[in-house]
Amino acid sequence: MIRYVCKSEDENVLLSSLLPGRLDIYTSTLRKLKVGGGIFLNGEPVHVRRFVHEGDVVEIDLSKAETPSQITPEPWLPEIIYESPGMLAVNKPAMSVVHPTCFHHTGTIAAGVVNYYNKTDLNSGIHLVNRLDLGTSGLLLFAKYGLVQERMKSQAASGEYKKVYIGVIDVPNGRNDIVPGFTGTVDAPIERDRSSIIKRKVGEGGDPSVTKYTILAADKQTGKALAAFSLLTGRTHQIRVHMSHIGLPLTGDTMYNPAYVETTEKISTEGPHQLLHHYRASFTEPLTAERVTVRCPVPENIAGSFPELFCEKSRTLTAEAEDQLSAGLFPAS
């Protein structure tokens, strides 16, 4: 429920103007609210053709703008990392599917989220805030309401919503520059690879794409390094394509790392996949305006390679590693 007390400047303003102007209610949500009866003035359901006066209380029930999900709930619950009145963040395991497709009808993360909504009597839809590749693990954010999803899209466009990934990369012999603290930026357009329906590549005709990365740890004996990534754009497979492009592909990536293409070697018990994890998300809560940062435990097949950087129980980065990450990706201006 969104609550707003009308001010003197709102005197004799129509609700149809007040809601998008003062409460930032998008047209699509407003249309559904009118049909669902989710607009209240001083506790009474009203139409948007009503005028308001100073001191009036306007309330919006966002659940009235939701339609039942067409995804069939399944009898299991996702691992919830964070929840607020408008947001839900769950931990997506690697090799799990986010939502039903023509190839995956059941066993999706979305089906577990629908089950959770049903068990907690939430009239909420499935509104994805971000997406993760099949082999990528970590934070998967859902907006409980369409309006919240729209506000998160605006934050993504403005840079207010920031995502941090952690991954293991292969370092070729001779790359002596890949040491802790090294930071780089890949600015290269990404386009579809015509040889595949899902593969991408760097190409002049692609969309502008920028990835920033910093090295947190490096092991010359194994030829592996732990890197953190920040996306300035959001293209399909962006981190995987960019890191492969600069000769530092993600360990286990069967699409972009030549060492693992067509491999059957297991990277974990779930099968071969890129060692990439959506670790941290920072955003402003769309309904409360509170600034929050959410972290997701890093899987053992990543954290175990560089255990000194992680807290043993939580499998999140140590304070020192967090400082190193922030200094590399988000240096003070």
Mean pLDDT of the 271-277 span: 88
Cα 88–Cα 101–Cα 281 angle in degrees, nearest 5: 30
Q: Are 110 and 124 in contact (CB under 8 A)?
A: no
Q: How far apart are CA 240 and CA 132, in angstroms?
A: 12
Coil/strand/helix, residue 63: helix
Summary mean pLDDT of the chain = 91
Nearest to 243 by CA among 306, 132, 168, 324: 168
| CB under 8 A, 24+ apart: contacts of 61-64 | 61/1, 61/33, 62/1, 62/2, 62/29, 62/33, 62/38, 62/86, 62/144, 62/145, 62/147, 62/148, 63/38, 63/122, 63/123, 63/124, 63/145, 64/32, 64/33, 64/36, 64/37, 64/38
Question: Which of 104-108, 132-136, 288-292 is least confident?
Answer: 104-108
Burial of 318 (0-12, 13-18, 19+ CB in 10 A): middle
pLDDT value at residue 57: 92
CATH superfamily of 159-329: Pseudouridine synthase (3.30.2350.10)
| Residues recognised as catalytic | 133
Q: Tokens 């039903």 sit at which residue?
A: 100
Residues with Cβ within 8 Å of residue 47, at least 6 apart in sequence: 15, 34, 39
Please state the domain extents for the chain: 2-65, 80-154, 159-329
What value does the mean pLDDT take over residues 316-331? 95
Which residues does residue 293 pair with via DSSP β-bridges, in sequence order? Answer: 282
Please tell me the predicted confidence (pLDDT) of residue 269.
46
State the Cα–Cα distance between residues 235 and 225, nearest whole angstrom.
23
Is residue 192 over pLDDT 90?
yes
**pLDDT tens-digit map of 71-130:** 888 898 999 999 999 999 999 999 998 887 777 778 899 999 999 999 999 889 899 999
Nearest to 142 by CA among 116, 118, 182, 113: 113
CATH superfamily assigned to domain 80-154: Pseudouridine synthase (3.30.2350.10)
Whole-Å CA distances, 89 to 137, 195, 295, 310: 13, 35, 10, 21
CATH value of 2-65 in 3.20.20.70, 3.10.290.10, 3.20.20.210, 3.90.1010.10: 3.10.290.10
Distance of CA 22 to the CA centre of its chain: 27
pLDDT band at 268 (very low <50, low <70, confident <90, very high): low
Largest CA distance in the chain: 73
